[in-house]
């Protein structure tokens, strides 16, 4: 019998919204399984989280220590190695924490890792998953032998949160003594300066991606945004290249936006980008008819943005 464990992320005494996605993922592995939520942290914040999620999971394992006040995967991994049974199937998110934690955990507990899973089911000892490769250009079926456990990193947002699970679990204290020799020590979290830019309030976002091709072309996107009374936003490579400020980046490592209309121009539609778009009518313009953005957009145009943008600007003016 597989034992399912879900790592519950939390902050300031509250579970992250995505915590209940783990239950949906677990149910795809085994709809009748008991799911144990693992909550690692410290003090009253930790107790608040445990009480909050206890109703949704069959059992909550609480791991309490001041050294877990900040979720440092390097130390949390050590605690998990101590508490997880050998054949555990452990589910967490494929985000900045899961990417930090899971590869090493998979080696140390000697269980295979399947990362960035968007769908799954179980057939005997085989976990059958759906993933993407080449940044969303292709899908693949990936199978994993879970007879001796597994680590599964699920894609944030790919599983609909199971809101009304009423499992009524107990909170069990599983605090263990972990090795105190910490080789990566957390100092602080720094929020970059927005420079007065706020893309989260705009009704219309003109959003440019790598398809804009050259720094000089940013100007034409600016002109369009101005003509439309819109804000200019972008995908990550534009910020990496320092063509626009970080405060204009849409995505999981940028801003979350909910405009009325999102004009995605020369943006392929990687999941980390789409993760920042929480609503609105998406119009996508891309020269590649197979670009993944067309799967999520409401309206699509196959074309060259370097031709399209000036035409649109002129017509609007």
Partner 1 sequence: MEILVCIKGVPDLEENEIEIKSDGTDIVRDDLVYSINEWDNYAVEEAISITEDKGGSVTVVTVESDEEKADEVLRREMAMGSQQGILVTDAAYGKGIASVLKAVSEKGSYDLILTGAQADGGEAQVGGMLAAMLDRPYASLVNMIEVIDDGKLKIGREIEGGDQEVSEIDLPCVLSIQTGINEPRYVSLRGIRKVSSVEIPEYRASDLGLSADEIGIDASKVKRVDYFVPDLGEGAEMIEGSMEEKVNKVIELLKSKGGMS
Ligand X SMILES: Cc1cc2nc3c(=O)[nH]c(=O)nc-3n(C[C@H](O)[C@H](O)[C@H](O)COP(=O)(O)OP(=O)(O)OC[C@H]3O[C@@H](n4cnc5c(N)ncnc54)[C@H](O)[C@@H]3O)c2cc1C
Of the residues 235, 244, 246, 297, which one makes contact with ligand X according to CB under 6 A: 235
Q: Which of these, 43, 97, 44, lies nearest to 75 by C-alpha position?
A: 97
Interaction between residue 37 and ligand X (CB under 6 A): no
Q: Which of these, 207, 217, 285, lies nearest to 250 by C-alpha position?
A: 207
Of the residues 41, 71, 211, 259, which one makes contact with ligand X according to CB under 6 A: 211
Show contacts with ligand X in window 91-150 (CB under 6 A): 135
How far apart, in whole angstroms, are the C-alpha atoms of residue 133 and residue 139?
6
Residue 221 phi/psi, 5° resolution? -70, -40
Which residue, 36 or 272, is less far from ligand X as judged by CB? 272
Which residue, 61 or 271, is less far from ligand X as judged by CB? 271
Residue 31 phi/psi, 5° resolution? -65, -20
256, 263 in Cβ contact below 8 A? no
Partner in contact with 197, chosen from ligand X, partner 1, none, beta carbon below 5 to 8 Å by kind: none
C-alpha dihedral (143, 146, 149, 154), degrees to nearest 10: 30
- In angstroms, what is the minimal distance from the CB of 111 to ligand X? 23
Which residue, 173 or 304, is less far from ligand X as judged by CB? 304
Of the residues 4, 120, 127, 305, which one makes contact with ligand X according to CB under 6 A: 305
- In angstroms, what is the minimal distance from the CB of 162 to partner 1? 22
Show contacts with ligand X in window 241-260 (CB under 6 A): 249-254
C-alpha dihedral (83, 89, 93, 95), degrees to nearest 10: 70
73-83 helix and 96-108 helix, angle to the nearest 10 degrees:
40
Instruction: Output the six-digit token pair for 150.
Output: 């597994």
- In angstroms, what is the minimal distance from the CB of 212 to ligand X? 8
**Number of Cβ within a 10 Å radius of residue 122:** 18
Q: How many residues bind ligand X, per CB under 6 A?
A: 28
Which residue, 41 or 98, is less far from ligand X as judged by CB? 98
- Locus of tokens 């130390």: 75
- In angstroms, what is the minimal distance from the CB of 23 to partner 1? 21
Of the residues 109, 263, 273, 282, which one makes contact with ligand X according to CB under 6 A: 273
C-alpha dihedral (73, 144, 25, 102), degrees to nearest 10: 0
Interaction between residue 236 and ligand X (CB under 6 A): yes
Which residue, 51 or 186, is less far from partner 1 as judged by CB? 186
Residues that bind ligand X (CB under 6 A): 135, 209-211, 213, 235-237, 249-254, 266-268, 270, 272-273, 276, 286-288, 291, 304-306
């Amino acid at each position: 019998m597989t034992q399912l464990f879900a790592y519950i992320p939390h902050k300031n005494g509250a579970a992250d919204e995505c915590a209940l996605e783990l239950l949906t993922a677990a149910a795809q592995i085994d709809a009748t399984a008991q799911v144990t939520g693992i909550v690692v942290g410290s003090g009253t914040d930790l107790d608040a989280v445990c009480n909050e999620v206890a109703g949704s999971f069959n059992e909550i394992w609480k791991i309490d220590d001041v050294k877990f006040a900040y979720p440092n995967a390097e130390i949390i991994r050590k605690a998990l190695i101590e508490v997880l049974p050998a054949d555990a199937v452990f589910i967490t998110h494929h985000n900045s924490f899961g990417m930090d934690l899971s590869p090493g955990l998979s080696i140390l507990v000697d269980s295979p890792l399947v990362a960035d899973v968007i769908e799954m089911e179980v057939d005997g000892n085989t976990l059958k998953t759906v993933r993407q490769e080449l940044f969303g250009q292709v899908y693949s079926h990936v199978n994993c032998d879970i007879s001796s456990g597994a680590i599964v990193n699920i894609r944030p947002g790919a599983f609909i949160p199971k809101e009304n699970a009423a499992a009524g679990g107990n909170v069990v204290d599983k605090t263990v003594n972990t090795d105190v020799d910490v080789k990566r020590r957390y100092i602080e979290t720094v929020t970059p300066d927005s420079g007065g830019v706020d893309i989260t309030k705009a009704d219309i976002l003109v959003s440019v991606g790598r398809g804009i091709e050259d720094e000089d072309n940013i100007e034409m996107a600016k002109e369009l945004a101005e003509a439309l009374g819109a804000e200019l936003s972008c995908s990550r490579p534009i910020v990496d290249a320092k063509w626009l400020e970080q405060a204009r980046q849409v995505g999981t490592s940028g801003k979350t936006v909910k405009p009325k209309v999102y004009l995605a121009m020369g943006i392929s539609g990687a999941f980390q980008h789409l993760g920042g778009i929480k609503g609105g009518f998406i119009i996508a313009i891309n020269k590649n008819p197979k670009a993944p953005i067309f799967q999520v957009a409401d309206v699509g145009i196959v074309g060259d943005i370097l031709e399209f943008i000036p035409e649109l600007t002129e017509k609007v003016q």
